[in-house]
Structure 1
Amino acid sequence: MNLRPPWWRRPRPAAAVVLAVLLGAVLAAVRLSGPIDAGPRPAPAAPALAGATLDGGRFDLAALRGQVVLVNVFASWCGPCRDELPLLAETGRQWSPRGLRMVGLNLRDGPDAVRPLLEQSRAEQIVVLPDPDGTRAVGWGVRGVPETFLVDRDGRIVAHRPGVVTRQWLDDHLSTLLAAP
C-alpha cells in the first residue's frame, strides 16, 4: 500500500521559497513607492541666517519674513560663482522694486578677496554675509558652490539650484513669487 499523498498534495519547498520571495518583492516595491495619495510635500522652512555683513551691518533672514529672499552661496575662488555674479546683480536691480531681497553667503573667503569681486561684477548692492568657516553653509545643506535658494514670504525654501543659475530659472521662479498679491 502506498502511503504517499498524491503529487498535488505533496509539499513543495522550492515553490514556497519562490512565493515568499515574490511576495517580499511586491511588498518592498509598494513600500518604496510611498503612499499613492501623498501629494506635494510642503516646502521646508529656511534655516536661520543672521550675522554681521561684509559692510559692517547686520543681516537677519527672520526679519525679512513677508518678503522674497534670494540666498546665493558663493566664493571668490570659484570660477562659476564669478561668472554668475553679474547676472545675480542684474537680477537684483530688476526685481528689487517688486520686493526681492538678496543676500550672498560668502564661503571661506576674506573681505580683501570679496570686495574687488563685487566691484568688478557691479554687484556692490548685494548684502554679503561672510561664512569664513562654512558652518552657515552646512546648516543650509550646501554641498558646493555656487548654490542658490529662493525663500518665499513665509520663510520657506521654495526653489533650490545647485550650480550656476540661469536667467530663465531666475525669471521663472521670481515672476511667480513676486506676482502682485
Structure 2
Amino acid sequence: MSAASRAPLRSNRTAARVRRRAALTTGAAVAALLVSACSSGGTSGGGGQTGFITGSDGISTAKRGERADAPELSGKTVDGGQADVADYRGKVVVLNVWGSWCPPCRAEAKNFEKVYQDVKGQGVQFVGINTRDTSPGPARAFEKEFGVSYPSLYDPAGRLMLRFEKGTLNPQAVPSTLIIDRDGKVAARTLQALSEEKLRAMLAPYLAEGSTDAKPEK
C-alpha cells in the first residue's frame, strides 16, 4: 500500500480516537457528578463553593442577593410533552432530581405530590428531572404508581444537571432537591430524600418572598 493510500486511513483512525475521547470525557463528567447517586444523603458544594451555608438539617441555603441564576432547563418531558423552567418565572420552583431505579426517590415521591397539591395555589410549581432511566417507560410507570402530576424533564444522560455551575447550589446526587426563587435564582438545595415535613420546612421561607422584579402597587 502506498503512502498516499495509507494517509486517509490514518486520518480516519485519528478522527475516531478523537470522537472516543470526547465521549469518554462526557461520560466521566456525568459519572463524577452522580458519584453519590441514589444515596439518602450527601455532602454539599465542592471546590470553590461560595455564597451559601449548610445547616445541621443538611439543607444548604444562599442569602438573597448572593444566589446564582438557575441555568436553562428545558426539553422533552417523561410523558412526551415539553417543559421549560423559565416559563415559571415569578413562581417558586421546587426542582427534584429523581430516577425510577432509586429507592430514596421512591420513598419521597408521595411526599412531593402531597405537598405540591397543597401549595400549587400559592405561586409554587414543582418540576422533576428524571435521570439515568434509559427509556421513558420506567419513568412513566413511576409517575403513575406514585400519582405524580407535575412535569418531569427526561434527562437520561444527566446533561441538564451539568448546566449548573460548579461551586453553586448544584444537584450532586440522586435524589437532589433545589428551590428556585421567584427571580429564577437557586435559593436552597438538599442532597437527601425528604419527608413531607422536611420538604414543607425547606420550602416555607420562600413562599413569603416576593420577586425583586415585582412592580410596587400604586
Interval containing the TM-score (normalised by the shorter chain) = 0.7 to 0.9
**Alpha-carbon distance between aligned partners in 2 of 1:154 and 1:40, rounded to the nearest angstrom:** 10
Unmatched 5+ stretches in structure 1: 1-38
Identify which of 145, 151, 165 aligns with 1:127.
151
1:60-79 correspondence to structure 2 within 5 Å: 60-79=84-103
Find the counterpart in structure 2 of residue 3 from structure 1.
none
What secondary structure, in the 3-state scheme, does the structure 2 residue paired with 1:135 have?
coil
Identical residues among aligned pairs (%):
33
What secondary structure, in the 3-state scheme, does the structure 2 residue paired with 1:160 have?
strand
Task: Count how many residue pairs are aligned between Structure 1 and Structure 2.
Answer: 142
**Alpha-carbon distance between aligned partners in 1 of 2:186 and 2:146, rounded to the nearest angstrom:** 26
**Alpha-carbon distance between aligned partners in 2 of 1:128 and 1:40, rounded to the nearest angstrom:** 27
Please tell me whether the aligned partners of residues 89 and 183 of structure 2 are also in contact (alpha carbons under 8 angstroms). yes
Deviation above 6 Å: which 4+ runs of structure 1? none
Identify which of 202, 205, 208 aligns with 1:176.
205
Paired residue type of 1:85: A
Please tell me whether the aligned partners of residues 79 and 136 of structure 2 are also in contact (alpha carbons under 8 angstroms). no
**Is 2:195 the counterpart of 1:163?**
no
Please tell me whether the aligned partners of residues 176 and 191 of structure 2 are also in contact (alpha carbons under 8 angstroms). yes
Paired residue type of 2:192: G
Q: Which has the larger radius of gyration?
A: 1
Paired residue type of 2:181: D
1:148 Cα shift? 0.3
Paired residue type of 2:90: G
Find the counterpart in structure 2 of residue 116 from structure 1.
141
Unmatched 5+ stretches in structure 2: 1-62, 165-169, 211-218
1:123-179 residue CA offsets vs partner (Å, 9 max, x unmatched): 1x1201000111112223432200000000000111101111232332223222223
Distance 1:142 1:173, change over 3 A: closer
Find the counterpart in structure 1 of residue 112 from structure 2.
88
**Alpha-carbon distance between aligned partners in 2 of 1:41 and 1:101, rounded to the nearest angstrom:** 22
1:13-58 residue CA offsets vs partner (Å, 9 max, x unmatched): xxxxxxxxxxxxxxxxxxxxxxxxxx98611111110111122222
Find the counterpart in structure 2 of residue 58 from structure 1.
82
Name the structure, 1 or 2, with higher relative contact order (CA <8 Å, separation 6+). Answer: 2
Find the counterpart in structure 2 of residue 99 from structure 1.
123
Q: What is the TM-score when the length of structure 2 is the normalising length?
A: 0.61
Paired residue type of 2:202: H
CA-atom RMSD, angstroms? Answer: 1.9
Distance 1:100 1:45, change over 3 A: same
Paired residue type of 1:49: L
Distance 1:180 1:72, change over 3 A: closer
Q: What is the TM-score when the length of structure 1 is the normalising length?
A: 0.72
